[in-house]
Amino acid sequence: MTTGTLRQQMMTVLREGEWDVRGLSQRLGIAEKDVIAHLAHVQRSLAAGGARLVIRPPYCRACGFVFEGRGRFTRPGRCPQCRQTRIAPPFFQVM
C-alpha cells in the first residue's frame, strides 16, 4: 500500500467516528508510531481542504484531570495533578 492511499484510508476511517492511536493501528494494520506520524500529515492536508482533525484530549482515569490544549497525538505518561499513570488516550475524528 502506498503512503498516499494509506492516508486517504486513514481520513475515511476518521470520518466514520472517533479513534485512538491503538484502534487506528489495528484497523489500518500499521504500527502505532506510524499512525502518529501519518496523523500529523493528515492534519495538515485536512486544513488545506477545509476540514479538521478534532482531538478529544487525554484525561486521567484516576482524578479526571483533562490534558486540554496539548495538541499532540501521543498519550501523556503521567498525570501532573495526582501523579498516576492511568491516562486515557486522546481520540481523533475528522469533521
Counting contacts by CB under 5 A, is residue 79 touching Zn ion? yes
Q: Please state the closest distance from residue 93 (CB atom) to Zn ion, in A.
A: 24
Q: For Zn ion, which stretch binds (CB under 5 A), given 9-17, 19-27, 46-54, 62-70?
A: 62-70
- Using CB under 5 A as the binding rule, the residues of this chain from 17 to 56 that contact Zn ion are none
Cell numbers describing residue 89: 488516550
**Nearer to Zn ion (CB atom), residue 65 or residue 91:** 65
User: Which of 51, 52, 56 has the alpha carbon at shortest distance from 91?
Assistant: 56
89, 75 contact by CB (below 8 A): yes
Place of cell 495538541: 71
